[in-house]
Structure 1
Amino acid sequence: MLSNLNQTKMGDATQVPNFDVIVIGAGFAGLYALYRMRDHLGLTVRAYDSAGGVGGTWYWNRYPGARCDIESIHYSYSFSEKLQQEWEWTERYASQPEILAYLNHVADRFDLRRDIQFNTRVASMVWDEEAHQWQVGFDDGNTARARWVISATGPLTAAPHVPDFAGMNKFSGEVYMTARWPHQDVDLKGKRVAVIGTGPSGIQVIQEIAKDAAYLTVFQRTADYATPLGNGPLVPSELASVKKRYSKIREAARNHFLGIPPI
C-alpha cells in the first residue's frame, strides 16, 4: 500500500529526496546531531525546522527577561575545543539574545545551514517496510526519505496552549504569549499590563515589564518560590581560568548527578 501511496500522491519514489538521516529540529540537540552525523560519521543528513532560523527554544522565546538558569559555561557545547576557546560569554547566566547569537555562531562556524531547511514542519512519518526507510511528510505536501530519523524537537518548542478565557474574544487590547513573543519590539511604556502566571517565564517577564508599564497587575493561581539568580558579568580573568580548565569542567559535569557541578 505504501508503494501505491507513493505513486498516486507523490509520484516516483526515486524523485523524493533521500538521506541517510533526517533530523527534526535545529536547536541545541538538532545542530549537534547534524554535525555529528555529517562531519563525524560521513552520513548524508538533512535537518528540518518549522522556525525561520536556528535556535529552537531560543528562537521562539524572545520575551523580555528570557534567560537561562544554567550557567553559560555549562550551557554550551563541549564537542569542539576551538569553539570553547573562541566564544566569549558575557554573563554568568546568559540571556536569550546571547544564547541565540551563540547558536547562530555555531551554525555558521561548522557550516550547518547548508543542510537545514527552515519554515518546514514535519506532518507525518510512515515506515516503508520494504525499503527499510522512513517516509517523512511535511506541511507543504512535500516528502523526504531516510533510514534514520532523529527527533530533536525538545519539550518547549511545540505550539503553546492558548487559554480559552471567557470573553477573551471581546478583548480589544494587545495579547502576547511568552512562548511566541513577536520578533519586533513590543512597546509597553505607559500602558496598563496584566501578566497571567508566575512560573519561570512569568517571573522573568514581570521583572522587565514592570520597568516600563504604567500599571502592572499579576494574576497568580499558586504561590511560587524563586531564589536570587546571582547573575553578573563574566570578567576576563574568570573566563581565562575556565578556558584553561575546560576539560576538567566537562569531565566533572559528565560525572555529576545533575550535570552541573560548581565551576
Structure 2
Amino acid sequence: MWSLFRLVESGFRCKLIEAGSDFGGTWYWNRYPGARVDTDVPSYEFELEELWKDWNWPEVFPGGEDLRAYFKSVGQKLDLRRHCLFDHAVRSAHWGEISHLWNVTADGAAGVYEASSRHVIFALGTSAQPYIPNIKGLDRFSGHCMHTARWPRDGLETRGKRVGIIGTGASGVQVIQEVGPVAEKLTVFQRTPNLAIPMRQRALQVQEQTSAKSSYPDIFNNRHGTFTGFSYDFNPRKTEEDTPEQREAFWEGLWSLGGFRFFVGGYHDLFFSKEANDLAYAFWRKKVSERIRDPKKRDLLAPAISPHPFGAKRVSLEQNYWEVVCQDNVDIVDVNNDPIVEVTATGVRTAKRTYDLDILVLATGFDAYTGSYLQIDIRGEEGRTIQEHWREGVRSYLGTTVNKFPNLWFMYGPHSPGAFSVMPALAEVQGGWIVDAMKQLRAENVTKFVARTNAAEAYSQHVRELAPPLLLQAKSWYLGANIPGKVQGIHDYFGGVPAYIQELKEEAEKGYPNFQRARLADSHKGEEVRAKL
C-alpha cells in the first residue's frame, strides 16, 4: 500500500493486485474473535501527516475492525483505489529475457487478468499463507471448521457451543480469551504453552490523542532508531550486572507497562545467555503462576522448566488469558502426552478420549516468510522457478531482491526484519528504498536490474550469522519448523532495524554495486511499468 503510494507519487503507472476485496492485508483476512494488533498506536501507523492528523483510535492496541477502517481511510486519502485490482490472486509471474518484462497473470471472479510489467513487487506478508495440519479425518467434521485466518466474514456464533481450538499461538490466545467466557465448553489442544505477557490494553480518548499528536513526528522518526522500531529498546546492561533486587524492580516496571517491553525492552543478553534467559523465565513464571489457581493447569501452562528459551518462539500479548483458561468450562489437552489421532464427524479423538464439538478452530499458524511465494509460479532467468531457487533454503540480497530474478522486489519477506519490526515502519523503509532504486533505474534507462549471486550468498550467510544462538533451540515458525518437510533455516534479519536501514542506505549511496544492469534498445524504453504489491 505504501509502495503503491510512492510509485504513483513518483510518476510510475502501477496496478496493485489483491486477492481480498479491500485494503488491509492480513487484517482483511484475520476476522476471528479478538483479532487485534500487538503493536500500540501511533507506532502502528504510517508517518504521513495527512493520514494521522484527523485519525483517532478507540484503543491502544486496535482490533481488526478498526484496523480495516484505518487502511480503508488511507486508501481514500491517498486516492489509491483507482490503481487497484481487488478480488484477484496472482497465479504466475514469468520473466522475459528478450523483452526485460514480467508477464503476470491473476485469477478473479471476473476472469483472468494479464499484464506485462517492467518491475514486480511482492508484498505478500510474513505470515499470510495459512497452515492446515494434515490431521486424519479433518474433512469429515460435520460442524464448523476453519483456520483463524479464514474466519467467516459474517462471523460465527460461539455462545453456548462446544468449541475446540488446536494451537496456542497469538491467534489461539486471542480466540481463547473471547470464546472461553461464552462457550458451553472450550477444549484447547496445546502442544507448547504460550509464554504470553501482559498487553495492558486501555481505551483512548480523542482529546488525549489530539494533545499527543505534536509528538508524532518524533515518534515516527524514533522508529528507525530502536532494535524493533518500537518506542522502547533493549536495556544496554547485561542481566547479571544488576543485583537480584535491581532486576526484580526493573522487570516489575516493564511488566506493569505492558506491551513487548518485557520481551524486547529488557536486558540485551536475553537471546545470548542461557543464564540470563533462565532468570527471565523464572520471573515470567512467578508472575503468571499468581494468576493460575488450578495446579494441574499451572503445570501445563507455566511448567517449572521452560519449554524453550524465552522469546525463541513468538511471544504473545494477553489481556485475561490465564483467568479464562482457568475457568471450569475450559479444558487443556496436552497433545504431547495425549496426541490427536483423528477428527471425526462429531469432534476430535485423541489417544485417550473423544471430545464432542460443534466448532473446530485451527489456530495452527502460517507457512511463514516463503509460503505465499511458493504458491505462485514465479520464474526468473532461464525459466528457473522460485521453488527451485529456494529448494535448499532462502537466498536473497538485502531482504528485498533475489538473484536470478531480475526486476523482482519483495517486502517484509524472508531476510528482512519482518517478525521483529513495526510493519508500517518497515513498509516505509523497504518501499521507499525500492521506489528510489526504480527511479534511479528509470533515469538511467536501465531495463534489467538483478542482484549478483555472490552478493546474495554473502548476505544470506550474514543473516544466518546474526541469529542469536538461543533462537535456534526452539522449533519455531521463525525457522520454518512448524511446517513438515520445510527446509529449516534463518528467515528473519536479527541485526535490528537501525542496522538493516544502514545496509540499505550504504548499497544505494555506493551506486548499487552488488547489482548487474542491462539496457534494451531504444525502442523498448517506453514500456509501461506495473507493480504487483
- TM-score (norm: length of structure 1): 0.83
Deviations 1:219-259 (A, max 9, x none): 10111211111010123343123201111111211111211
The answer on 1:149 being equivalent to 2:120 is yes
Tell me, in whole angstroms, the C-alpha distance in 1 between the residues paired with 2:187 and 2:166: 9
Picking from 71, 82, 90, the partner of 2:58 is: 90
- 2:144 aligned counterpart, secondary structure: coil
The answer on 1:255 being equivalent to 2:225 is yes
The answer on 1:53 being equivalent to 2:22 is yes
Deviations 1:186-244 (A, max 9, x none): 11111111111110000000010112211111110111211111010123343123201
Q: Percent sequence identity over matched residues?
A: 39
Tell me, in whole angstroms, the C-alpha distance in 2 between the residues paired with 1:167 and 1:155: 29
Matching residue's letter, 2:26: T
- Cα pair distance change 1:86/1:215, threshold 3 Å: same
Equivalent residue, structure 2, for 1:174: 144
Equivalences, count: 230
Tell me, in whole angstroms, the C-alpha distance in 1 between the residues paired with 2:220 and 2:161: 46
Matches within 5 A, 1:219-238: 219-238=189-208
Measured on the aligned residues, the alpha-carbon RMSD in Å equals 1.5
Matching residue's letter, 1:57: T
- 1:216 aligned counterpart, secondary structure: strand
Note the C-alpha offset of 1:171: 2.1
Equivalent residue, structure 2, for 1:43: 12
Picking from 213, 217, 228, the partner of 2:187 is: 217
Tell me, in whole angstroms, the C-alpha distance in 1 between the residues paired with 2:40 and 2:139: 41
Picking from 81, 98, 105, the partner of 1:113 is: 81
- 1:86 aligned counterpart, secondary structure: coil
Tell me, in whole angstroms, the C-alpha distance in 2 between the residues paired with 1:248 and 1:138: 41
Tell me, in whole angstroms, the C-alpha distance in 1 between the residues paired with 2:219 and 2:140: 54
Gaps of 5+ in 2: 233-256, 258-533
Question: Which structure 1 residue ranges, 4+ long, deviate > 4 Å from structure 2?
Answer: none
Tell me, in whole angstroms, the C-alpha distance in 2 between the residues paired with 1:165 and 1:251: 47
Equivalent residue, structure 2, for 1:137: 105
Deviations 1:52-109 (A, max 9, x none): 211110000000000111002100100x212221111111111111011000011111
Equivalent residue, structure 2, for 1:11: none
- 1:107 aligned counterpart, secondary structure: helix
Equivalent residue, structure 1, for 2:71: 103
Matches within 5 A, 1:49-88: 49-78=18-47, 80-88=48-56
The answer on 1:125 being equivalent to 2:103 is no
- TM-score (norm: length of structure 2): 0.42
Deviations 1:120-141 (A, max 9, x none): 1111111122222111122344
Matching residue's letter, 2:35: A
Tell me, in whole angstroms, the C-alpha distance in 2 between the residues paired with 1:49 and 1:150: 12
Gaps of 5+ in 1: 1-30
Tell me, in whole angstroms, the C-alpha distance in 2 between the residues paired with 1:167 and 1:189: 26
* Structure number with larger C-alpha Rg: 2
Matching residue's letter, 1:195: I
Matching residue's letter, 2:127: L
Matching residue's letter, 1:149: V
Matching residue's letter, 2:155: D
Tell me, in whole angstroms, the C-alpha distance in 2 between the residues paired with 1:74 and 1:128: 40
Note the C-alpha offset of 1:32: 0.7
Equivalent residue, structure 2, for 1:5: none
The answer on 1:243 being equivalent to 2:195 is no
Tell me, in whole angstroms, the C-alpha distance in 2 between the residues paired with 1:223 and 1:142: 45
More deviation, 182-191/138-147: 138-147
- 2:92 aligned counterpart, secondary structure: strand
Matching residue's letter, 1:213: A
Tell me, in whole angstroms, the C-alpha distance in 1 between the residues paired with 2:23 and 2:160: 34
Equivalent residue, structure 2, for 1:23: none
Deviations 1:22-70 (A, max 9, x none): xxxxxxxxx111110002x111010001112111100000000001110
